[in-house]
Copies of this chain bind each other. A is one copy, B any other.
Amino acid sequence: MGRIHTDLALEAKEKFEEDQVEIRGVVIQEDYNEAKDIRTTVVKIETENGAKAMGRPQGVYITLEAPNLSVPDEDYHREISKELAKHMRQLIPIKKDMNVLVIGLGNREITPDALGPEVVSNLRITRHIIREYGVQGMGEECAHSVSSLVPGVMAQTGMETMEIVRGVAEEVRPDVIIAIDALAARSVKRLNRTIQITDTGIHPGSGVGNHRTGLNEGTLGVKVIGIGVPTVVDAATIVHDSMAHLLDTLEEAEKKEFLEEMIAPSLYSMFVTPKDVDETMKRLSYTISEGLNLAFAKGEA
């Protein structure tokens, strides 16, 4: 697979299906809601062996594919927000008056990497109100405490995102951390219309920007839910996949060498985005924020 990269567990799975390989330790459930046109795929990586094969940690990876997600339609997005909220409440053992810290990863200056900061900007933040006036200050009997941070990227801060989040988590002591990030997909068809939710957090090499140390229960000492939307495909991936069809008749060894040669190094610093990426980014982040707002609307378990 070499340098060709996807952040979607769904796409890692598909790769094996193409090769007609079955992977032990990986359980897959699919569901299609025709009325809403949402396809849900749950990939559970249950063993160390499965994790190795899939190239990502053990845990649950939920993918919502909603082709119309990138189309402006307020009501439809509401459906997606609700689906997202539902899955969040299943992944997180919701209890009364939870303390939730949301991290908006990525670089707000680069549009396809700005999903995290954009999501956070739409969130209903409550922690400071609850601390000042109590849960009653929210006009509710119970209320989750929601705080958020946009840490920036290493080139801006000089710090690993993980260092910043760990320091802040030490102060805030959240029950759960939710990390939002823009992802790289392998298929152009999935850009801006797929949401991945996982209880494994964010792992190294994810995202549009540079590699980073993982945000997960191991590094932060608290459960980390990762929510991501693929917003880019590597230019190299696109060339790779187009050519792979052609090469089906060549020998394996030749094929690999050939592909490595054919992809110009300059392609690795490019990315491919839909032409309407700026508008799309706004809509997507709104949908995700609403999903989180719904999930934590009231402080009840």
Q: Would you list which residues of chain A between 157 and 187 have a CB under 8 Å from chain B? A: 157-160, 163-164, 166-172
In whole angstroms, what is the CA distance A264 to B243 when docked?
12
Q: Is A222 an interface residue (CB 8 A)?
A: no
Task: Give the A interface residue count (CB, 8 A).
Answer: 61
Q: In the complex, what's the smallest C-beta–C-beta distance from A75 to chain B, in angstroms?
A: 14
Q: Flag if B148 contacts A149 (CB, 8 Å).
A: no
Q: In the complex, what's the smallest C-beta–C-beta distance from A23 to chain B, in angstroms?
A: 27
Q: Flag if A158 contacts B127 (CB, 8 Å).
A: yes
Q: Is A293 an interface residue (CB 8 A)?
A: no
Q: Is A92 an interface residue (CB 8 A)?
A: no
Q: Would you list which residues of chain A between 213 and 252 have a CB under 8 Å from chain B? A: 233, 235, 238-239, 242-243, 245-246
Q: Which residues from B are CB-within-8-Å of A208?
A: 275
Evaluate whether A169 and B168 lie within 8 angstroms (CB atoms) in the complex, with A125-B155, A150-B150, A156-B120 already known.
no
Q: Would you list which residues of chain A between 39 and 54 have a CB under 8 Å from chain B? A: none
Q: Please classify the interface of chain A as helix (H, G, I), strand (E, B), loop, or mixed, using the class held by over half of its residues.
A: helix
Q: Is A278 an interface residue (CB 8 A)?
A: yes
Q: Which residues from B are CB-within-8-Å of A245?
A: 262
Q: Is A267 an interface residue (CB 8 A)?
A: yes
Q: Which residues from B are CB-within-8-Å of A157?
A: 125, 128, 147-149
Q: Flag if A164 contacts B168 (CB, 8 Å).
A: yes
Q: Is A68 an interface residue (CB 8 A)?
A: no
Q: Flag if A238 contacts B267 (CB, 8 Å).
A: yes
Q: Would you list which residues of chain A between 120 and 170 have a CB under 8 Å from chain B? A: 120-121, 125-129, 145-152, 154-160, 163-164, 166-170
Chain B, Cβ-Cβ closest to A247: B246
Evaluate whether A109 and B278 lie within 8 angstroms (CB atoms) in the complex, with A125-B158, A239-B239 already known.
yes
Evaluate whether A151 and B154 lie within 8 angstroms (CB atoms) in the complex, with A188-B270, A246-B262, A278-B109 already known.
no
Q: Is A20 an interface residue (CB 8 A)?
A: no
Query: Given A188-B267, A239-B243, 14 more contacts at CB 8 Å?
Result: A109-B278, A111-B278, A127-B159, A129-B158, A148-B152, A163-B168, A167-B171, A168-B168, A188-B264, A233-B270, A235-B235, A235-B272, A242-B243, A242-B262
A interface residues with partner B (beta carbon < 8 Å): 109-111, 120-121, 125-129, 145-152, 154-160, 163-164, 166-172, 188-189, 208, 233, 235, 238-239, 242-243, 245-246, 262-264, 266-267, 269-279
The 4 closest A-B pairs by CB, nearest first: A127-B158, A147-B158, A167-B167, A167-B171
